[in-house]
Amino acid sequence: MQTDDVVATLYAGNTGIDLRTLDPDQTLHQVLDAGGPIGQMGTSNIERFLGSAERPAPTVREILDELRGRGTRGFRLVGDPTEVADGVEELAARTGLDGFLIEPVFGTRDVEAFGDLVLPILRERGRLSPRRSDATFRSRMRGMLPAAPVS
């Protein structure tokens, strides 16, 4: 749902490195090798893409692909609406989770897409009760109504 420009801008704001100016087939080492501007800002988000003895450094293209899926965050569920719904159901079944924090990576458009595209699938599968204005996503996943009205 995100473009290279959006995720590159986010990464630049966090690290000071504009991925759009780099060779997409090379690693971030091209910045280091050129004596580029790597300071203290966003160091962990730079180091995580430099690789290690156990894991080779990803190319800039691979970094952009990863950032499109989850930004600088950790856990993610990505895919088409059916794949995301499958992931929600599997995670709930495997872990016993009874609620999810749907966090937009790049703006409310992600949450709107989840509501418009994924929730209807979960509802169709019987994982959510019919749409109600007085119920939360968590209570619908568990089949309960909230104790107090949602304000």
Domain ranges of the chain: 4-70, 81-142
Stated pTM of the model:
0.44
Taking only the tens place, the pLDDT of each residue in 103-126 is 776 678 888 889 999 999 999 999
Q: In sequence order, which ranges of the chain are alpha helices (DSSP H)?
A: 4-15, 29-33, 43-47, 60-70, 81-95, 108-113, 119-124, 137-142
Q: How many residues does the chain have?
A: 151
pLDDT at 55: 86
d(CA 120, CA 130): 9
Taking only the tens place, the pLDDT of each residue in 25-50 is 999 888 877 776 565 555 677 887 88
